[in-house]
Amino acid sequence: MIEPITCAMSKRASKNAVGGASVGASVGASVAAPKVFGGGRAKGATKSAAKSAAKGAAKGATNKGTASTRAPLALGDLRQRIDEMDKRLVGLLNERSSLVVEVGKLKRANNIPIYAPHREAEVLKRVLASNAGPLADRAIEGVYRELMSGSFALEKPLSVGYLGPPGSFSHLAAVRHFGSSVELADMGAIDGVFTEVVRGHVDYGLVPIENSIIGGITETLDGLVAHAGKLRVYAEVQLGVHHALIGACAPAKVTRVLSKPEVFAQCRTWLATQYPRAELVPSASSSKAVQDVAAAGARSGWGAIGSTLAADLYGLNVLFDAIEDNPGNITRFFVIGRQEAQASGDDKTSVLFAALNKPGALARVLGDFERCGVNLTHIDKRPSRRENWSYTFFIDAHGHHSQKPVAKAIKLARRHCQELHVLGSYPRSRRVL
């Protein structure tokens, strides 16, 4: 299984993410990264900065200090205005939070789920549409995801299960989507995420469903079959896959690299070029590899390929970031729960089915969606486990199952199936976190 992630979090931010304190920018905006070695432009940048500083000093001398006298005053004035604005922002945020508390009371009284993906999509769409800059949409979305995370805690504390260990890409995917104010629980295995959601031990689970390079995640597909009818696909998350070489020693001292075999495959060209003599040692997970490197210490000459979050959590340095061969690698996650998501106006519906064992049955199922004008965005299959060479198929359709075209297509398709389960409808993910 591939666990993806994109951002590099600071040590303080990642610790807050694990402990439940607010990390704000960790969810989408750029944040401070662990110490990074191997940058090729630092020396040139230093020379350039020195030249600029020398020119600035000379110019300041010819101006007899007038510029240097004015600049601090202007800077101080700007900072005072920012401080005043921050005070107003905090007041507005707390005023908003007071309304959130009232919303939580109404939800609990009427047994309405605290986390509502359709409402989240609605808020983000409206907020981003009103963004005129200069802040990027990604920064605004990060702020609001953390704000909504804090709102969950005010309405009712939420727990989310994920595939660990801590520092895994699934862990950071959960932080990116849910923010730092929810309780994140390491379930140890993908099937454990499913079972704990079904039992009600956690409110939601986050599981990887598909990678843009290696395809479907078999453990998740099997979990959807095993627990069909007991839970729902509730939301969709997309994350870019960016791997980092992590260690405690200098880059030139690395002689052994640990990670998952799939991660080695995704960094094959870079490793062959930069570390052709290094021993590649398979590990159960990328975060376990980082743990082992931390335990071995700097003298071991060990390095690991994993997430920058893992480097933060286990006190290691990022030696080289973004070492994957394909920078466009993305993994899709499902959020699973026991409720059904409402229509947002831009949704997808996931269905699993086993076609009848007769000529043309599979083609007729797919044809029913075509005749109803429903676009299929994904198809996969797994052995049915009922008998050899029979299969369970998985499809994603554009639209919510409550809408007439999708509902009609599903009704018609049932005629050609031994079984058919609607796994859930959910807002379509439009952005890579």
- Residue-wise DSSP of 328-365: T-EEEEEEEESS-PPP-SSEEEEEEEEE-SSTTHHHHH
How far apart are the C-alpha atoms of 164 and 219, rounded to whole Å? 14
Claim to verify: residue 263 and residue 375 sit in the same structural domain = no
CA 174, distance to chain mean position in Å, is 6
**Does 143 fall in a domain?**
yes
* pLDDT of amino acid 12: 36
How far apart are the C-alpha atoms of 75 and 208, rounded to whole Å? 47
* pLDDT of amino acid 23: 35
* pLDDT of amino acid 37: 55
The yes-or-no verdict on residue 219 having pLDDT over 60 is yes
Identify the CA nearest to 113 among candidates 276, 234, 11. Answer: 234
pLDDT mean over 160-187: 90
Claim to verify: residue 28 and residue 173 sit in the same structural domain = yes
Question: Band of the pLDDT at 369, cuts 50, 70, 90?
Answer: very high
Three-state DSSP at 412 gives helix
**Does 53 fall in a domain?**
no
The yes-or-no verdict on residue 93 having pLDDT over 90 is no
Which percentage of the chain shows pLDDT scores above 70? 83
**Does 360 fall in a domain?**
yes
Task: Give how far Cα 181 sits from Cα of 19, 130, 165, 314, Å.
Answer: 9, 26, 19, 21
How far apart are the C-alpha atoms of 128 and 131, rounded to whole Å? 5
* pLDDT of amino acid 173: 92
Claim to verify: residue 236 and residue 248 sit in the same structural domain = no
Output 177 or 114, whichever has higher pLDDT.
Answer: 177
**Does 48 fall in a domain?**
no
CATH of the domain at 132: 1.20.59.10
Examine the fold and report which residue of 285, 320, 355 is the final residue of a domain before the chain moves on: 320
The yes-or-no verdict on residue 158 having pLDDT over 80 is yes
Examine the fold and report which residue of 188, 211, 240 is the final residue of a domain before the chain moves on: 240
Claim to verify: residue 229 and residue 263 sit in the same structural domain = no
The yes-or-no verdict on residue 18 having pLDDT over 50 is no
* DSSP for residue 124: H
Among 27-31, 71-75, 182-186, the range of highest mean pLDDT: 182-186
For tokens 């005629």, what's the residue? 415
Task: List pLDDT tens digits, range 244-296.
Answer: 999 999 999 999 999 988 899 899 999 999 999 999 999 988 999 999 999 99
Claim to verify: residue 292 and residue 354 sit in the same structural domain = no
Question: Band of the pLDDT at 2, cuts 50, 70, 90?
Answer: very low
The parent domain of residue 413 ranges over 343-427
**Does 68 fall in a domain?**
no
**Does 104 fall in a domain?**
yes
Task: List pLDDT tens digits, range 409-422.
Answer: 999 999 999 999 99
Claim to verify: residue 197 and residue 268 sit in the same structural domain = no
Number of domains in the chain: 3
Examine the fold and report which residue of 192, 218, 240 is the final residue of a domain before the chain moves on: 240
pLDDT mean over 213-225: 91
**Does 83 fall in a domain?**
no
* Contacts within 8 Å (CB) and 24+ apart, 255-258: 255/279, 255/301, 255/302, 256/281, 256/300, 256/301, 256/302, 256/303, 257/281, 257/302, 257/303, 257/304, 257/305, 258/282, 258/283, 258/289, 258/292, 258/293, 258/302, 258/303, 258/304, 258/305
Sequence-ordered list of residues with C-beta below 8 angstroms from that of 363, at least 6 positions apart, any chain? none
Claim to verify: residue 248 and residue 234 sit in the same structural domain = no
Claim to verify: residue 263 and residue 313 sit in the same structural domain = yes
Output 45 or 152, whichever has higher pLDDT.
Answer: 152
Identify the CA nearest to 423 among candidates 167, 226, 185, 214. Answer: 226
**Does 66 fall in a domain?**
no
